[in-house]
Amino acid sequence: MSGKRIAVLVSGGGTNLQALLDAQARGEIRGGEIAAVLSSKEGAYALERAAKAGIPGYVAARKSFPDNRAMTRAIVDRLQTLDIDLVVLAGFLHILTEEMVQAYPNRILNVHPALIPSFCGAGCYGLHVHEKALAYGVKVTGATVHFVTEEPDGGPIVLQKAVDIRDARRLRTILREGGDPKEVLSLRKAAPDELASAMEKLLARDQSNWLPVLYGLTALYGDDPEDLAGVDIWDEGFWRRCNPSLGEHLKLRALRLEAQEAKRSPAGEKLFRWLRLNQWISVKAVGWIPLTLYDKTQWGPSAKAEREAWLGRLRGLKCYGGLDLSTTTDLTALTLLFPPQPGLEHWVALFQAWRPEEGVREAEQRDHVPYQDWARAGFLTLCPGDMIDFPQVEEAVADAAGRYELALLGVDPYLSRTLTQRLMDRGVQVVEIPQTMPSMSPAMKELERLIRAHRMLHIHNTCARWCFGNVRCAVDGNENMKPMKNRSIGRIDIAVAWIIAMATAIVAENQPIDLETAMQRPDFSL
């Protein structure tokens, strides 16, 4: 293997190192190779892992040097002798002085066992980070990969991953039933005598124990929505009650920016309540983008004849497609998404949809929408019979490929395999976009950003407007989201096709680059 030479610095068992070695074995490290492992501790198991992988190991034991500066200089000399291009700190438990950053600017990555800016900086390393997180009673922790600068844990963040901390909130029940309270305990509703009793039990044990206090909305007010109704979550004084580390590990300015962003959507507010105010909330669907904002981003006239003439402006332009298929009840939808390009200043979305003609009158009464009027207006195509006419959908995609420059079509794998093969036989490039949170979340966030900035416009389609208004967001603790219906009869298929088209554009326009190319960038970004 050839490319940039990577050195991994460790201090202990080397679990992060092993993950890197496994990734290298799978061919996932493009443009580089792990050429050396350097440990700050003699006999570290990480050196054995390196030896098993056939990678040379070196030791720069901290106790062998008078201070961190001397150790840093020795490490720099070793790395330069080995002709190292990139340094990865994977569980390295010592602060390196400025000589390291000067020798390898924008070429040092660190793995920190917390969600920076929480529990980071001087003194926050190794198990000390987890001890502080547990002591503060936070509900969510995680890990951060970031660039190393002269400020400890202060470099730009590359990647973060959150994990939940177990929350055992039934202290009184544990004590009453004679259980072991030494695990995670919540003290929010415990009486003083119960707390004293718990502490006595803990202190009487020979084992080490901990008893964190739970902070946040749920701890202060409970889970009753009525108790929470009058709480002003935007009060900065209230934030401090929920975040005792505010101003130390969590900066007030950063929290203000998060709050401003959270005010923009129900989904954002829900995540703010969950992750910053420690409120126990359901992960059921919440609102996405208001229809009032959607209505402000229409491109071109509403009348059918004028609309058709307006569409002539898009002929021959590059676009990405999103296809959401159905069989009977739901709509089948195709969205064409035109990115900014010569002749087009903004993103523009063009919608097309189908549903079976049979049962359309009953569907109008059930869904409370005028499907037949939409068909007459050109917003919807009614397929003869009780099934979606897939050959008709195929022809529509082929027509779009001939009318426009269809660069890539994204399809949900559900129901699409046969149609996908037929389209590929006709020269259409296809990529699968499953309707999962990892696939849909980046596209939904990018769509929302573009719509709120009035940089994402759409061709007037009343059926599409109805679908858009039915969208709600399912969110998780990692701030991922996916579209959901707001009710059982509400259709969201055109909006889903729009999101798939956006995901397809992201795939096409943001292909990952290899390590060697990334290192040529001033910010060393992947």
Task: Over range 415-444, report the average pLDDT.
Answer: 85
Give residue 228's pLDDT: 67
Confidence of residue 481 (pLDDT cuts 50, 70, 90): confident
Residues 6+ apart with CB under 8 A from 313: 343, 344
Distances (CA, A) of 406 to 275, 350, 400, 505: 40, 13, 7, 11
User: Residue 408 domain-assigned?
Assistant: yes
Burial class of 160 by CB neighbour count within 10 A (0 to 12, 13 to 18, 19+): middle
| DSSP secondary structure letter of residue 122 | T
* Cβ contact 239:246 at 8 Å: yes
Distances (CA, A) of 512 to 5, 159, 508: 20, 15, 10
Identity of the highest mean pLDDT range in 11-15, 172-176, 214-218, 370-374: 370-374
What confidence category does residue 503 fall into, taking pLDDT thresholds of 50, 70 and 90? very high
pLDDT tens readout for residues 313-334? 899 999 999 999 886 667 899 9
* pLDDT for position 176: 52
Residue, of 293 and 139, whose pLDDT is higher: 293
Q: Which helix (H) or strand (E) holds 50?
A: helix 45-52
Question: Both 233 and 346 in a single domain?
Answer: no
Q: Indicate whether 236 and 299 sit together in one domain.
A: no
pLDDT of residue 447: 92
pLDDT of residue 524: 43
Average the pLDDT over each of 208-217, 398-407, 434-443, 467-476 and give the range with the smallest value: 208-217
Token pair 């190292």: residue? 84
346 and 478 both lie in a single domain: yes
Calculate the CA 280 to chain-centre distance. Answer: 20
Residue 105 shares a structural domain with residue 173? no
252 and 134 in a common domain: no
Q: Kindly report which listed range (175-179, 344-348, 478-482) carries the lowest average pLDDT score.
A: 175-179
Query: Is the pLDDT score of 146 beyond 70?
Result: yes
In a domain, 55, yes or no: yes
Same domain flag for 251 and 357: no
Q: What is the mean pLDDT of residues 13-34?
A: 86
| Given 94, 112, 146, 249, the catalytic residue | 112
Of 94-108, 390-404, 480-494, least confident by mean pLDDT is: 480-494
CA distance 497 to 333: 6
Residue 183 confidence (pLDDT): 41
Q: Is residue 514 part of a domain?
A: no
The whole-angstrom separation of Cα 343 and Cα 110 is: 44
306 and 337 housed in the same domain:
yes
Same domain, 263 and 369: no
- Residue 171 — very low, low, confident or very high, per pLDDT cuts 50/70/90? very low
Q: Which helix (H) or strand (E) holds 397?
A: helix 390-403
Average pLDDT of the residues in 162-179: 52
pLDDT(428) > 50: yes
Helix (H, G, I), strand (E, B) or coil at 175: helix
Backbone CA torsion sign across 452, 341, 495, 270: negative
- The mean pLDDT of 8-32, rounded to a whole number, is 87
> Would you state the pLDDT for residue 202?
47
| Residue 137 vs residue 399, higher pLDDT | 399
Q: What global pTM score does this model have?
A: 0.49
374 and 469 both lie in a single domain: yes
Please give the pLDDT value at position 526: 40
Give residue 170's pLDDT band: very low, low, confident or very high (50, 70, 90).
very low
pLDDT at residue 371 in the model: 92
Instruction: Between 270 and 222, name the one with better pLDDT.
Output: 270
pLDDT value for 521: 45
Which structural domain range is residue 270 located in? Answer: 225-281
> Residue 201: its pLDDT value, please?
55
- The residue from 129, 149, 165 where one domain ends is 165
Residues 297 and 402 in one domain: yes
Dig out the tokens for 453 from the structure: 């900035």
- Identify whether residues 200 and 316 lie together within a single domain: no
How many domains does the structure of the chain reveal? Answer: 4
> Is the pLDDT confidence value at 347 over 90?
yes
Burial class (CB in 10 A: 0-12, 13-18, 19+), 448: buried
Per-residue pLDDT tens digits for 349-364: 999 999 999 889 888 8
The answer to whether residue 252 sits within a structural domain is yes
Q: Which of 450, 433, 497 is nearest to 289 (CA)?
A: 450
Mean pLDDT across the stretch 63-75?
Answer: 88
Question: Each residue of 173-196: pLDDT tens digit?
Answer: 554 555 554 443 443 344 445 545
Worst-scoring range by mean pLDDT, 16-25, 155-164, 456-465?
155-164
Picking from 74, 106, 84, the residue whose alpha carbon sits closest to that of residue 35 is 84
The answer to the question of residue 187 being in a domain is: yes
Q: For 150-154, 185-189, 346-350, 420-424, which range has the lowest pLDDT when averaged over its residues?
A: 185-189
Q: Terminus-to-terminus CA distance in the chain, angstroms?
A: 20
Q: How confident is the model at residue 135 (pLDDT cuts 50, 70, 90)?
A: low
Strands 332-338 and 4-10: unpaired
517 occurs within a structural domain: no
The confidence score (pLDDT) of residue 106 equals 85
Highest mean pLDDT pick, 146-160, 336-350, 425-439, 505-519: 336-350
Nearest CA to 195 among 183, 207, 181, 216?
181
Mark whether 112 is an active-site residue: yes
Whether 500 and 387 map to the same domain: the answer is yes
pLDDT of amino acid 418 = 78
pLDDT tens profile 367-412:
888 999 999 988 999 999 888 888 999 999 999 999 999 999 999 8
Return the structure tokens found at 119: 């529990």
Q: pLDDT band for position 197 (50/70/90)?
A: low
* 191 against 113, higher pLDDT: 113
Per-chain mean pLDDT for the chain: 79
Q: Which of 235, 259, 281 represents a domain boundary (last residue)?
A: 281
Residue 487 maps to which CATH number? 3.30.420.240
Q: Is residue 175 part of a domain?
A: yes
- Whether 219 maps to a domain, the answer reads no
Name the range with the highest mean pLDDT among 1-10, 45-54, 282-291, 401-410. Answer: 401-410
